[in-house]
Amino acid sequence: MSASTESGDGTDGATASDERIGRRLLTERVSSLWLTGAGYFAIALFVLIVLTLVYQSLPLLSEYSVVQMLTSSNWSPQQNEFGFLPAIVGTIYVTILSMLMGAPIAILAAIYIAEFAEGRTKTIVSSFIDVLAAIPSVIFGLVALIVVVPLVGDYIAPAVGSGATGLGIFTVSLVMAIVVTPFIISLSVESLEALPDELRETSLGVGATQWETIRIVLLRAAGPGIFSAILLGFGRVFGATIVPAMLIGGQTQIPDSLFATGQTLPTLIVNDFGELMSVPIRQSALIFVGLALVIVVWLFNFGAMLLRKRLQQRWQYQ
Amino acid sequence: MTQNYSRRSVVQLAGAGSALALAGCTSSNGGSSSAVRISGGVGPLPMVEVWADIYSDETDTTFDISGGGTGVGVSDLFNEQVDIAMMGRDPYDEEVEQGLFAVPMLIDTVVGTINENNPVFDEIQENGLTREDLEAVFTKEITNWGDLVDADVDEEITVYGRSDSSAAYEQWGDFLGGEDDAWAESELENLADANHNGDQAVAEAIGREPNAISLNNINYVYALDSGELESPVRPIPLDQDGDGLSDEEDFYDTRDEFLAAVEEGRYPAPPAREMFLAANGGFEDEAYDFVEWVLSDGQEYVRDNGYVPLEEDRLEEAQNNLAGEA
């Protein structure tokens, strides 16, 4: 495809170039306007979502006290009783447990890929991790129903003396750990690989072993990056919906053991929205759960950002 | 520089072209003759889809159907997103107060289910279980299969429920409670050992776990095409008078037999339950015609799809209600 070019033959070159500059300036102004608009659009969208959630939660908030709802464990929408504590506790359990299971493995795997693996092995391992990260989480849920649920119910739970059906907090945490690990690995590998080779060379040069180099120098230098990778995983577990909904067993009670069934904030919404949207106060209750979720995640991100800044200042290597 | 400019115009042209093409699509799809929009319960969804297919062949009416759950359907109605809501349960008072108008369309059936390798399978097949038995099992008063039937078996009962809010589970709670009493869905959920998300997941779990008991829509018990019992999931025969399973009460071999029993009232309601089509205020135009057709000619397709048609007088009542509303 050849573009038709305007010929500047010099007869009225001055006006032609003026026109061209004018046009360029106009393009410049329009595109910067457009970019600014796109930037603010994101903010507007966030504000709009939060406002909608707040507005829709008002019917509930005007009738019930927030403190009472957040601390009551009585969830019984048919009787118009809304206690969110079981879902909050469930969410916290699942998030912490999955990170305890997933993060150490993820960091070790990242170190292996970035520092030890070479050549084809490295290509193969890291490409499989990318593939894992690309699998939709509903697939993990399906496979877990067939494999992990009987495994937990028949072997793991009885082994620690707990009679369970296989559905519950532990199963969800295990599967969510598997779901988020590839993300944490990829991001951690990236931040390790971004470190300059001088760091390694210097450390090895003064007589440190490879493991000492990794532990004392590289992990510190890549610390903020790895830390934010873990936080990203944290956020994903916190807001995970479909895997917990399929595997948690849907009981709105405070779980009394790791293998107990439970509920998280997202599963509370997804399990109940099909039935609770038709009566205004119940709809309002579900929207309020959504609002709580958004606020918590936002606070969390904000805190993580501050923390990461401080870490970056403390662990500088330059 | 100028090259840039003309490349941009090419892009612009392409953009405008595709926008036009898109506009063309929407107008040919449903601009002039608007589709009847339906959403709501997933229980009646397969039947409504069959009806809509047949009806649109006959009349050129187009349909836009989605699931989401009964509550979603009703709230879509009030937000004027849809013309008709499918409901798997009776309308609540709060919904009627807001102007919900509902007519029954068919009867759907829920049945208790166990695995074919259940330790007391033969005893249950032989004598059935009474409502009181089932209530005791689902509320955890009885937790051992050996205690439930007179057999020398020591196996814990695993109770599965539904974690998604389901109208079937709600009806099951009504049934378990007996006359004038009902277990709320949230109560049953919390008493169960674990809850599964959706009918299919429950059926699969029952199929895997010999000691489990739950409830299922009959379309998840009998094979869809043949109407036979093919999976490891088996219905629990219901002993209604407490004296064992009489010939009258033994109709669980095929779906046809079972549906006939529901139709003749030999299987109680609940757990058999009416499902409704609802509108905000009243049905209008094409939606009205469709519902009118469902309540007349449409009923003949119900039995083949695993549901039970409404009884004669109930149908008449529904037709009168519909006509009176217009």
B284 touches chain A (CB under 8 A): no
Burial class (CB in 10 A: 0-12, 13-18, 19+), A15: exposed
Q: What is the pTM of this model?
A: 0.79
Q: Which of chain A's residues have a Cβ under 8 Å away from the Cβ of B184?
A: 76, 78-79
Report which residue type is found at B277: L
Judge: A76–B184 Cβ closer than 8 Å, yes or no.
Answer: yes
B3 touches chain A (CB under 8 A): yes
Interface test with B, best of A147, A278, A283, A286 (most B CBs within 10 A): A278
Q: Which of chain A's residues have a Cβ under 8 Å away from the Cβ of B194?
A: 164-168, 249-251, 261
**CATH architecture label of B11-106+274-325:** 3-Layer(aba) Sandwich (3.40)
The answer to whether B275 and B70 have CB atoms below 8 angstroms apart is: no
Nearest by CB: B71 against A5, A78, A274: A274
Residue B80: other Cβ atoms inside 10 A: 9
Q: CA distances (Å), B220 to each of B51, B204, B267, B300, in order?
A: 20, 9, 18, 22
Q: Which of chain B's residues have a Cβ under 8 Å away from the Cβ of A4?
A: 6
| Whole-number percent of chain A with pLDDT over 90 | 29
Those of residues 32-61 in B touching chain A at CB distance below 8 A are 41-42
Q: What is the pLDDT of residue B20?
A: 53
Nearest of B28, B32, B48 to residue B40 by alpha carbon? B48
Residue B30's pLDDT band (boundaries 50, 70, 90)? very low
B280 touches chain A (CB under 8 A): no
Question: Per-residue pLDDT tens for B31-75?
Answer: 345 788 898 888 888 889 889 988 888 888 888 888 888 888 888
- Strand-pairing partners, residue B278, are B85, B102
Interface test with B, best of A275, A281, A287 (most B CBs within 10 A): A275
Q: What is the pLDDT of residue B7?
A: 57
Q: What is the pLDDT of residue B29?
A: 43
Q: Where are the domains of chain B?
A: 11-106+274-325, 110-263
User: What is the bridge-based pairing of β-strands B110-115 and B212-217?
Assistant: antiparallel
Q: Which of chain B's residues have a Cβ under 8 Å away from the Cβ of A21?
A: none
Shortest Cα distance from B73 to chain A (angstroms)? 8
Q: What is the pLDDT of residue A301?
A: 78
**Mean per-residue pLDDT over chain B, rounded:** 81
Q: Which of chain B's residues have a Cβ under 8 Å away from the Cβ of A275?
A: 69-71, 165-167
Nearest by CB: A271 against B70, B75, B164: B164
| pLDDT higher at B19 or B75 | B75
Q: Residue B5: is its pLDDT beyond 60?
A: no
Give the Cα separation of A300 and A310 in Å (integer): 16
Burial class (CB in 10 A: 0-12, 13-18, 19+), A223: middle
Q: Which of chain A's residues have a Cβ under 8 Å away from the Cβ of B78?
A: 278
B164 touches chain A (CB under 8 A): yes
Chain CA centroid to CA B120, Å: 29
Judge: A245–B187 Cβ closer than 8 Å, yes or no.
Answer: no
Buried b (16+ CB within 10 A) or exposed e, A46-59: eeeeeeebeebbeb
Interface test with A, best of B101, B165, B209 (most A CBs within 10 A): B165
Q: Residue A7: is its pLDDT beyond 70?
A: no
Q: What is the pLDDT of residue B26?
A: 45
Shortest Cα distance from A92 to chain B (angstroms)? 20
Q: Residue A128: is its pLDDT beyond 70?
A: yes
Q: Which of the residue ranges A28-32, A246-250, B3-7 would you say has the lowest mean pLDDT?
A: B3-7
Give the Cα separation of B286 and B83 in Å (integer): 9
Question: Per-residue pLDDT tens for A230-265?
Answer: 888 888 888 888 999 888 888 888 888 888 888 899
B323 touches chain A (CB under 8 A): no
The SS3 assignment for B273 reads: strand
Give the Cα separation of B245 and B250 in Å (integer): 6
Residue A52's pLDDT band (boundaries 50, 70, 90)? very high
Shortest Cα distance from A254 to chain B (angstroms)? 10
Instruction: Give the residue from chain A lying closest to B88, CA to CA.
Output: A275
Q: Residue A108: is its pLDDT beyond 90?
A: yes
| Whole-number percent of chain B with pLDDT over 90 | 2
Residue A12's pLDDT band (boundaries 50, 70, 90)? low
B93 touches chain A (CB under 8 A): no
- Give backbone dihedrals phi and psi of B237, rounded to 5 degrees, phi first: -65, 140
Q: Which of chain A's residues have a Cβ under 8 Å away from the Cβ of B209?
A: 165
Specify whether the backbone of A290 is left (phi greater than 0), alpha (psi in -120 to 50) or beta: alpha
Report domain B110-263's class: alpha beta
Judge: A277–B71 Cβ closer than 8 Å, yes or no.
Answer: yes
Q: Which of chain B's residues have a Cβ under 8 Å away from the Cβ of A165?
A: 158, 160, 193-194, 209
Residue A49's pLDDT band (boundaries 50, 70, 90)? very high
- Is domain A66-316 classified as CATH 2.60.120.460? no
Q: Residue B247: is its pLDDT beyond 70?
A: yes
Give the Cα separation of A232 and A240 in Å (integer): 12
Q: CA distances (Å), A75 to each of A27, A88, A161, A167, A190, in order?
A: 57, 12, 29, 20, 44
Nearest by CB: B165 against A150, A164, A271: A271
Give the Cα separation of A151 and A159 in Å (integer): 11
A252 touches chain B (CB under 8 A): yes
Q: Which of the residue ranges A33-42, A132-141, B126-135 would you say has the lowest mean pLDDT?
A: B126-135
Buried b (16+ CB within 10 A) or exposed e, B45-56: bebbebbbeebe
- Strand-pairing partners, residue B235, are B113
The SS3 assignment for B51 reads: helix
Q: Residue A216: is its pLDDT beyond 90?
A: no
User: What is the bridge-based pairing of β-strands B84-87 and B273-280?
Assistant: antiparallel
B204 touches chain A (CB under 8 A): yes
| DSSP secondary structure, A38-99, as one string | HHHHHHHHHHHHHHHHHHHHHHHHTTS-HHHHHH---EEGGGTEE--HHHHHHHHHHHHHHH
Nearest by CB: A20 against B1, B72, B161: B1
Question: Per-residue pLDDT tens for B265-315?
Answer: 888 878 888 889 888 888 888 888 888 888 888 888 888 888 888 888 888
ipTM value greater than 0.85: no
